[in-house]
Chain A
């Protein structure tokens, strides 16, 4: 026993090093795969408020661009208002469409901290559970899908960006309706890969890629990008599809968190499928 204590004392420095290293690396590697963060991220109050302060100071630099984007978005929205349309055929009557029901609500938020040049990128937004944001909600910008909420505190939320290896957003290609998973494989913040599409399906270059909304995180048809490059994978009957993102992740400032009103219903139903099997 005394020898053991003497031994421990001699290697005390090394032991402390190993223990602390295990804590740090354990947290790093486990949190990459399981969403159980609570501690090591910007969703906490102190860093959150510091980053919002920084954001307050620097936001004026981007006002011009933000305004232009908002105007474009308004233009698109105005196109959908029925008042702006005139009836082509005067004999038809107005149909009050009650088939459609609001399914997705959008919660606006501002990005206060972001990265795009790492292998796995996250960004922090200034809206949290106080605005009804929950884990695993989809996040989109006016130009396209940008990520999924990863962790939430009362006033902030950390979003797993589309530039993350394990993002796995289900997406389909316009025209062919073939679907696969979006992954971030190359270190290029402008491009992601669409994997799992069989190479007997014809896909055109320049075709648009949309979210399939299979998990209920995104509305079906939310824009992601366009097919930029198309190559068969060697030794596999699959396409290697490079998708150019429609939202430039390097310029992300304003986003919407998508709240699916029927998310619980969807989850319940999908859980039942597993039980039945």
Chain B
């Protein structure tokens, strides 16, 4: 499977994984892990920014369907899709990206992945929890949820990368 069908399949998989598995886990301490930002992060390098945002928006909507959040996930997903091109440029390797390869940990290195994914996750979570609580007096909860959830999400991202996105064997 390549190209569009692969991406659509992946999108559905991530939405369902978020809705049925990760959204149902209750860790306590305000931890809400979110896996679907990984899908947005791993869309091909040459995806045009507008397409990227529309795809992210609908992914977020899909998650909203499950979580009864009425557009909150869509908003956060949209934000990280908007900053993704700029972020990738910031961490681009010396000779730029090879747009045929996927933006994954095995292709671009552990350091690159943790930097890019870490910043994406933190922005996503802070935005999400800021809007969810939406008052300054709850800043301790916002901070706690954002930091702890970011750590858990990053760990889940790395585990998914290690398990499912191995480096393809060279012939």
Which residues of the other chain, B, contact A16 by a CB distance below 8 angstroms?
Answer: 50, 53-54
Say yes or no for A217: interface residue by CB 8 A criterion: no
- Bound together, the chains give a CA A26 to CA B67 distance in angstroms of 17
Say yes or no for B32: interface residue by CB 8 A criterion: yes
Which residues of the other chain, B, contact A122 by a CB distance below 8 angstroms?
Answer: 68
Question: Are A31 and B71 neighbours in the complex by a CB distance under 8 Å?
Answer: yes
A51-B66 in contact given A20-B54, A24-B60 (Cβ < 8 Å): yes
Say yes or no for A113: interface residue by CB 8 A criterion: yes
Least Cβ–Cβ distance between A165 and chain B, in angstroms: 10
Least Cβ–Cβ distance between A248 and chain B, in angstroms: 12
- Bound together, the chains give a CA A115 to CA B68 distance in angstroms of 9
- Bound together, the chains give a CA A16 to CA B67 distance in angstroms of 25
- Bound together, the chains give a CA A42 to CA B70 distance in angstroms of 10
Least Cβ–Cβ distance between A209 and chain B, in angstroms: 25
Question: Are A40 and B24 neighbours in the complex by a CB distance under 8 Å?
Answer: no
- Bound together, the chains give a CA A158 to CA B66 distance in angstroms of 11
Question: Are B65 and A117 neighbours in the complex by a CB distance under 8 Å?
Answer: no
Question: Are B75 and A21 neighbours in the complex by a CB distance under 8 Å?
Answer: yes
Which residues of the other chain, A, contact B78 by a CB distance below 8 angstroms?
Answer: 17, 20-21, 24
Interface residues of B in 13-33 (CB under 8 A from A): 16, 19-20, 23-24, 26, 28, 30, 32
Least Cβ–Cβ distance between B65 and chain A, in angstroms: 4
Among B32, B54, B66, B68, residue most surrounded by chain A Cβ atoms (within 10 Å):
B68
Question: Are A12 and B68 neighbours in the complex by a CB distance under 8 Å?
Answer: no
Chain A: interface residue count, which band? Answer: 35 or more
- Bound together, the chains give a CA A37 to CA B78 distance in angstroms of 21
How many residue pairs, one in A and one in B, have C-beta atoms under 8 Å apart? 103
The one of B19, B24, B82, B141 in contact with A47, judged by C-beta atoms closer than 8 angstroms, is B19
Among B24, B26, B60, B70, residue most surrounded by chain A Cβ atoms (within 10 Å):
B70
- Bound together, the chains give a CA A44 to CA B67 distance in angstroms of 12
The one of B19, B71, B82 in contact with A24, judged by C-beta atoms closer than 8 angstroms, is B71
Q: Which residue of chain B is the closest to A161 with respect to CB atoms?
A: B68
Question: Are A117 and B57 neighbours in the complex by a CB distance under 8 Å?
Answer: no
Say yes or no for B69: interface residue by CB 8 A criterion: yes
Least Cβ–Cβ distance between A51 and chain B, in angstroms: 7
Interface residues of A in 1-54 (CB under 8 A from B): 12-13, 16-17, 20-21, 23-28, 31-32, 37, 40-42, 44, 46-47, 50-51, 54
Say yes or no for B64: interface residue by CB 8 A criterion: yes
Say yes or no for A199: interface residue by CB 8 A criterion: no
The one of B32, B50, B71 in contact with A28, judged by C-beta atoms closer than 8 angstroms, is B71
Least Cβ–Cβ distance between A139 and chain B, in angstroms: 15
Least Cβ–Cβ distance between A185 and chain B, in angstroms: 10
Question: Are A44 and B65 neighbours in the complex by a CB distance under 8 Å?
Answer: yes
- Bound together, the chains give a CA A27 to CA B78 distance in angstroms of 14
- Bound together, the chains give a CA A173 to CA B39 distance in angstroms of 50
Least Cβ–Cβ distance between A68 and chain B, in angstroms: 22
User: In the complex, given contacts A13-B82, A40-B71, A122-B68, what are 11 additional A-B residue pairs having Cβ atoms less than 8 angstroms apart?
Assistant: A16-B50, A17-B82, A25-B71, A28-B131, A31-B71, A32-B70, A40-B61, A42-B67, A50-B20, A115-B68, A124-B68
A-B contact pairs, 19 of them (CB 8 A): A23-B74, A24-B57, A25-B71, A27-B71, A28-B69, A31-B70, A40-B68, A41-B65, A42-B67, A42-B68, A47-B19, A113-B24, A115-B68, A117-B30, A118-B132, A120-B132, A124-B68, A158-B68, A187-B138
